[in-house]
């Protein structure tokens, strides 16, 4: 707004900036062989803050490059801020999602430290590896967490129906995120993720 003289920017300009910044970020990371550049890109939210990244990308469609990046950084931030909760959700879901647990690639046993390492590894994969594989790993992670949340909601249901309902909604949201990330992986492979 400051660069626009205090006026709200045109929605088309906001969309263009979101997509350009996402493309530049991914392009810069993928073009660099410097591990320090990759580390800075992985820790982008640590430097800029989640609200700044949200302003750039959160309103973009889930099945777009900025939408996918937003979801990856939001997942990392959640694991960084609530590692015990993330580990509990993940551990609860593992027994229901063997294949997704393997695809996600979490070290055993999957505790808070291992989940932090996983979300960092997924983001490193965006910049150093096959972006589609990174997106698939993130989708698999989300599916395990969703199963864990659903299981925990089931065990909470008799004690606190409201808490169980919230947990079920959070499981559904995570499952939706998994579907979007999986779709983005397919779009990347066909050159259509923009």
**pLDDT one-digit tens code per residue, 67-76:** 999 999 999 9
Name the phi and psi angles at 177, rounded to 5: -60, -40
Is pLDDT at 2 greater than 60 in this prediction?
no
Q: What is the pLDDT of residue 5?
A: 58
> CA dihedral in degrees (97, 76, 37, 125; nearest 10)?
10
* pLDDT bucket at 3, cuts 50 / 70 / 90: low
Name the phi and psi angles at 193, rounded to 5: -85, 105
Tokens describing residue 67: 């939408």
Distance CA 107, CA 116 (A): 11
Is pLDDT at 84 greater than 70 in this prediction?
yes
Which DSSP category does 182 fall into?
Answer: H
Q: Using one digit for the tens of pLDDT, what is the confidence trace for 169-187?
A: 999 999 999 999 999 999 9
* pLDDT bucket at 1, cuts 50 / 70 / 90: very low
| Domain ranges within the chain, ordered by starting residue | 2-189
- Using alpha carbons, list the distances in angstroms from residue 23 to 7, 20, 51, 75, 190: 26, 5, 19, 20, 16
Q: What is the pLDDT of residue 63?
A: 98
Asked if residue 181 lies in contact with residue 71, where contact means CB atoms within 8 angstroms, the answer is yes
**H-type helices in the chain, by residue range?**
11-31, 35-42, 44-48, 50-57, 65-81, 83-94, 98-104, 112-128, 131-156, 161-189
* pLDDT bucket at 191, cuts 50 / 70 / 90: very high
Share of the chain above pLDDT 90, in %: 84
pLDDT, averaged across the chain: 93
The size of the chain, in residues, is: 194
Angle at 178 between CA 172 and CA 58, to 5 degrees: 90
Q: What is the pLDDT of residue 154?
A: 85
* pLDDT bucket at 113, cuts 50 / 70 / 90: very high
Distance CA 192, CA 106 (A): 29
Its pTM stands at 0.92
* pLDDT bucket at 159, cuts 50 / 70 / 90: confident
Q: Using one digit for the tens of pLDDT, what is the confidence trace for 15-65?
A: 999 999 999 999 999 999 999 999 999 999 999 999 999 999 999 999 999
């Amino acid at each position: 707004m400051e660069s626009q003289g205090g006026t709200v920017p045109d929605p088309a300009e906001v969309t263009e900036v979101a997509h350009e910044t996402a493309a530049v970020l991914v392009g810069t990371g993928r073009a660099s062989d410097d591990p320090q550049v990759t580390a800075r890109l992985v820790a982008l939210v640590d430097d800029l803050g989640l609200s700044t990244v949200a302003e750039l990308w959160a309103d973009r469609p889930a099945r777009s490059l900025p939408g996918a990046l937003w979801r990856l950084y939001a997942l990392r931030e959640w694991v960084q801020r609530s590692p015990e909760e993330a580990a509990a959700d993940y551990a609860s879901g593992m027994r229901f999602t063997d294949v997704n647990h393997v695809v996600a690639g979490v070290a055993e046993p999957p505790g808070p430290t291992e989940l932090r390492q996983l979300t960092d590894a997924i983001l490193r994969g965006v910049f150093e590896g096959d972006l589609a594989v990174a997106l698939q790993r993130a989708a698999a992670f989300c599916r395990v967490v969703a199963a864990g949340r659903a299981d925990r909601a089931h065990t909470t249901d008799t004690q606190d129906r409201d808490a169980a309902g919230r947990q079920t909604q959070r499981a559904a949201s995570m499952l939706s995120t998994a579907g979007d990330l999986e779709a983005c992986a397919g779009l990347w492979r066909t050159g259509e993720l923009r």
